[in-house]
Chain A
Amino acid sequence: MSKCKKPVHAASPAERLITRREAVVRISQATVAAAAVGAGTFGLLDRSAAGATAPPIRDFRRAPLTDKTRAAAARGEDPVSNVRRALSAIGGMERFVGRGETVLVKPNVGWDRLPEQAANTDPQVVGEIVRQCRAAGARRVIVADLSCNDPARSFARSGILAAASAAGAEVLNARSLDLVDVSIAGAAAGLKVMAPLLAVDRVINVPVVKHHGLSRATIGMKNWFGVFGKGRDRLHQDINRCIAELGALFRPTLTVVDATRVLLASGPQGGSLADVKAVGAVCAGLDPVLCDTWGAVQLGVAPRELGFIVEAARRGLGKSDLALVHELGKA
């Protein structure tokens, strides 16, 4: 199991930029080199060995799934207030995070975009979740993602580096994250994941709701793409089935869906401010399918039209009945 390294810092303009793809290539090269040394001993490369000995992804759930904890949504202009109210409605962060625990917060920090462009999770939402974890007694909170664009620029431009750091989190990106083997079945088999997934006690998924060119929407279950290293592009083939598979594979402690601003078109990277709608809402819950169902509605898409929600519900991973979301309304 790999340790987490030092927090990242925003890159200066003159600094050599090391991207996620460079990082994963280096890791892959190191892995190949290590395997080659092993091959010298055993005479051949056993490609199945890593998968056979690698640990599985743990079940990070803590609180029981009840009607009250399934999902609650809060609305208003202040994202911080929305996070607090939604979490409070499902029992408060202390119900999900124990004293002394280490928590991984997984926002969407895929793109070198401003918060106003709505391609990444809102930084205020991420910051407040970190504060809530710390207040609940978490010993350590890690905020991590494997960005598509340059990682240092994505974390800096999104505002998440500053917001999460100020709230007391360690911020890790592709420059500072180790990637490790895990035992995974299905389309993601063989892909490496960010090391904190194997080292933490709790995981909180914090996606942003936005349009996606292939799946029409990216919300919570799709956000798991960001924990994988090189080769994750193959998950875009048969994307709805793959998203549902990830919904079965990852069992987070909590899902907090950010719909502060919603990118309605040209996703996932976006760019045009005209494509962004200020929705001003946050949903927190234990049912990832219901959270995605709520997110789809904020995007203006009928959940039944999203193949991954239909498939995830069919697999019994959660409910897609919007009436089960406890709508708190405006503050």
Chain B
Amino acid sequence: MREGPATVLAALRARQGPSLPLPARAGASSATEVDRFDRERLYELVDGAAEGYLSHGFEACVTQTYSFPGPPAFEIAAEAHRFGSATGARAQLASEAPRQALPVPAMADAVSDGSVLLVIRQRDLLKLTSLTNDPRGRDALLDIARAWKDLP
């Protein structure tokens, strides 16, 4: 039986590891290059938090910082982590959710407190951190999260 192109594409993307949406999809530009981390290098990204990720089955991560136009311009740091299972991703979300985080309306498996947004898709966890006090950061978190959820 032949697989459809969309199925094949999705399978290929899944094998490539976690991914982030192109900045333009969220109305942003790229402030940094895309960086990738495996189990060996994870500590370089999160230092002492690495053990927690590894205990939940962390496999790989991709990071990028998005820049939103001003004035004033502002930035959001994005990390997409892949775990061995959806259970592991959910456990990491539970351990990392900000103390005042609430479910994001109309977005499944997502919590945010306005400065950090965490959302799950299958066995991937997206963590967005606003690097601004600008109130537009809250909307930008949602824009990136929606674009990530819509990735094929």
In the complex where A17-B32, A114-B133 touch, is A236 in contact with B51 (Cβ < 8 A)?
Answer: yes
- A21 lies within 8 A of B41 (CB): yes
A275 near B98 with CB under 8 A, answer: yes
Contact with B along A243-278 (1 / 0, CB 8 A): 000000000000000000000111111011111000
* B33 (CB) vs chain A CBs: closest residue: A17
B67 within 8 A of A: yes
Known contacts A150-B32, A236-B43; A271 and B48 CB within 8 A of each other:
no
A124 interface residue per 8 A CB criterion:
no
Taken together as a complex, chains A and B put the C-alpha atoms of A51 and B130 apart, in Å, by 43
| A305 contacts B by Cβ under 8 Å | no
Decide yes or no: A268 and B47 within 8 Å by CB, A112-B77, A274-B99, A275-B98 being known contacts: yes
Known: A266-B96, A274-B115, A275-B99. A214 touches B51 (CB 8 A): yes
A218: interface (CB < 8 Å): yes
Residue B45 is within 8 A (CB to CB) of chain A in the complex: yes
B10 — which chain A residues lie within 8 A by C-beta?
Answer: none
| Distance between Cα atoms of A148 and B114 in the complex (Å) | 24
Q: Which B residues are CB-close (under 8 A) to A46? A: none
- A window 131-176: CB within 8 A of B: 148-150, 153, 157
Flag B78-109 by CB within 8 Å of A: 1 or 0 each: 00000000000000000010111100000000
Which A residues are in CB contact (< 8 Å) with B67? 13
Interface size class of A (residues with CB under 8 A): 35 or more
Alpha-carbon distance A272/B48, docked complex (angstroms): 17
Q: Are the C-beta atoms of A215 and B131 separated by less than 8 Å?
A: no
Q: Which of A17, A233, A236 has the most CB of B within 10 A?
A: A233
Within 8 A of B (CB), among A11-41: 13, 17, 19-21
Interface hits, A262-306 → B, CB 8 Å = 264-269, 271-275
Report chain A residues within 8 Å CB of B52: 213
Question: Which chain B positions have C-beta within 8 A of A271?
Answer: 77, 98, 115-116, 129-130
Is B151 an interface residue when CB atoms closer than 8 A count as contact? no
Residue of A nearest to B63 (CB): A149
Q: Interface 1/0s, chain B 118-142, versus A by CB < 8 A? A: 0000000000011111000000000
User: A148, B98: Cβ atoms under 8 Å?
Assistant: no
Chain B, residue nearest A214 (CB): B48
CA distance A117 to B116 in the complex (A): 11
- Give the residue of A21, A117, A236 whose beta carbon is less than 8 angstroms from that of B50: A236
Interface size on B, residues (CB 8 A): 31
Contacting pair A157 B131 (CB below 8 A): yes
- A326 CB–B CB distance under 8 Å: no
**Distance from B124 Cβ to chain A, minimum over Cβ atoms (Å):** 19
Q: Is B31 an interface residue (CB 8 A)?
A: yes
A274 near B48: Cβ-Cβ < 8 Å: no
B44 touches A (CB below 8 Å): yes
Nearest chain A CB to B130's CB is how many angstroms away? 8
Whether B46 sits at the interface, judged by CB under 8 Å, is yes
Cβ-defined contact, B43 with A233, below 8 A: yes
Contact between A21 and B51, CB atoms less than 8 A apart: no
CB of B49 within 8 A of chain A?
A: yes
Tell yes or no: B113 within 8 A of A by CB. Answer: yes
Question: Would A265 and B98 count as touching, CB distance under 8 A?
Answer: yes
Give Cα distance in the complex from A19 to B31, angstroms. Answer: 15
A148 with B50: in contact, given A114-B132, A274-B113 (CB under 8 Å)? no
- Shortest CB–CB separation between residue A155 and chain B, in angstroms? 14
A78 to B95 CA separation, bound complex (whole angstroms):
34
- What residues on A are CB-neighbors of B99 within 8 Å? 264-265, 272, 274-275
Q: How far is the CA of A250 from the CA of B44 in the complex (A)?
A: 23
When distances are taken between beta carbons in the complex, the residues of chain B under 8 Å from A275 are: 98-99
Asked if A13 meets B31 with Cβ closer than 8 Å, knowing A113-B131, A114-B133, A236-B51, the reply is: yes
Chain A residues in contact with chain B, CB under 8 A?
13, 17, 19-21, 110, 112-114, 116-117, 148-150, 153, 157, 212-215, 218, 225, 233, 236, 239, 264-269, 271-275
A–B complex contacts, Cβ < 8 Å, 22 sampled: A13-B31, A114-B132, A116-B133, A148-B44, A153-B65, A212-B48, A233-B50, A236-B43, A236-B47, A236-B48, A239-B48, A267-B49, A268-B47, A268-B48, A269-B46, A269-B49, A271-B98, A271-B129, A272-B100, A272-B115, A274-B99, A274-B114
Besides A265-B99, A275-B99, 19 new A-B residue pairs in contact (Cβ under 8 A), listed by A number: A13-B67, A110-B47, A113-B129, A116-B133, A117-B115, A157-B131, A212-B48, A214-B51, A233-B43, A266-B96, A266-B98, A267-B49, A268-B47, A271-B129, A272-B113, A273-B113, A273-B114, A273-B115, A274-B114
